[in-house]
Amino acid sequence: MSVRGEDLSTLQNLAGRVEAIVRTTPGAVDVENSLETSKPEMRIRIDREKASDLGVNVGLIATGIRAMVDGAVATQYSEGGDQVDVRVRLAKEDRTSLESIRNLTIKGSNDAPNQQKLLVPVYYVADVFPGSGPSKINRFDRQREIRIDANTSGRQLGEVLGDIFKGTRALEVPPGYSVGVTGSGEMQAQSFLNILIALALAVVFVYIVLAAQFESFVHPFSIMLALPMSLIGAVFALLAFGSALSTISLIGIIMLMGLVTKNGILLVDYANVLRDRGMDRTQALVSAGATRLRPILMTTFAMIFGMMPVAFAVSEGSEFRSPMGQAVIGGLITSTLLTLFLVPVVYSLIDDFSFGRILLSLKGLRERTFRKR
């Protein structure tokens, strides 16, 4: 989970509440907060009014103390072919305690009685006190960010994220701050979106190919009725095997879009052939179902048995891809059973309302009207 905002204290408070939600979510383990505030530091709070009265520049205080404590590169010297920085800073005993930092002097712009520039001790213009701060501050999209990381155990990533989102939606997030998902959750959402787009394109391409093969814009719909029938079987198969709807199972569903249409193609194509030979539509569908039943079952069983090694995870590491085989097997079974019954019915209904039949009906109505006149 990514918590973003500007003020570090407000951000830390909001991240703490998000972390509490993640820790209490079943299935979330090894919860960590990216903000580490255990690093000791020495803080200097400048009194700007005093500094202005004494002619001490605020920026000079910061750069001067930094140079005296951390050091400043004064020059370089060459040793062999290398150049080495010469860093000048105070002796260790003059820069490692609060008292020594307080007693450091900064040159001001005002003149002292001896016509020299006034040297002002740090404790005159600033408070020096110990504290603790973050070892690093992450930024994302030009905002400060604190990340709450966790692993999952016993539950799927989508289930854990769903429970976390329920808790984060109830939070009162201040304006300018946001709580979102990143890492594996973000990658999963992007993968699902891309796969759904691919699924939609697969359906469109299947329709285009069928329309070109059958030279009809309506008959492909009767064949494509097998697509939603396959989704029913794929979902039931995943539930039966205890698998989740994942990227791999969605890839199997995309495969189904091309596999399950073959039953309808065999059935409708032969029915059209019989009708071209002069057979009645209903008799053509019945004959096509009886004749094409054997090749439909043969091809379906061949694909089901071919997918069984994948679905049952018989090899090492195959648990990752087993949902793909499970989805394909379930989709093939239901689409085959339902296609044999539903495709002829839908074919008849679509044929009744086809554009050609409507024109013929209108033409017949027109002729009957002329006869009456």
Alpha helices in the chain (DSSP H): 8-23, 48-53, 58-69, 98-102, 122-125, 157-169, 184-214, 219-223, 226-241, 247-259, 261-276, 281-311, 322-352, 355-372
pLDDT value of position 319 = 73
Q: For 356-366, what is each residue's pLDDT tens digit?
A: 555 555 555 55
Q: What is the mean pLDDT of the chain?
A: 83
User: Going from the N-terminus, what domains does the chain have, and what CATH number goes with each?
Assistant: 2-37+136-180 (3.30.70.1440), 40-133 (3.30.2090.10), 187-367 (1.20.1640.10)
Share of the chain above pLDDT 90, in %: 1
pTM flag (> 0.85): no
42 to each of 56, 177, 296, how far by Cα in Å?
A: 21, 29, 79
Tally Cβ neighbours within 10 Å of residue 170.
8
Contact 199, 253 (CB under 8 A): yes
Q: CA 223 to CA 343: how far, in whole Å? A: 6
Q: Is residue 3 predicted with pLDDT exceeding 80?
A: yes
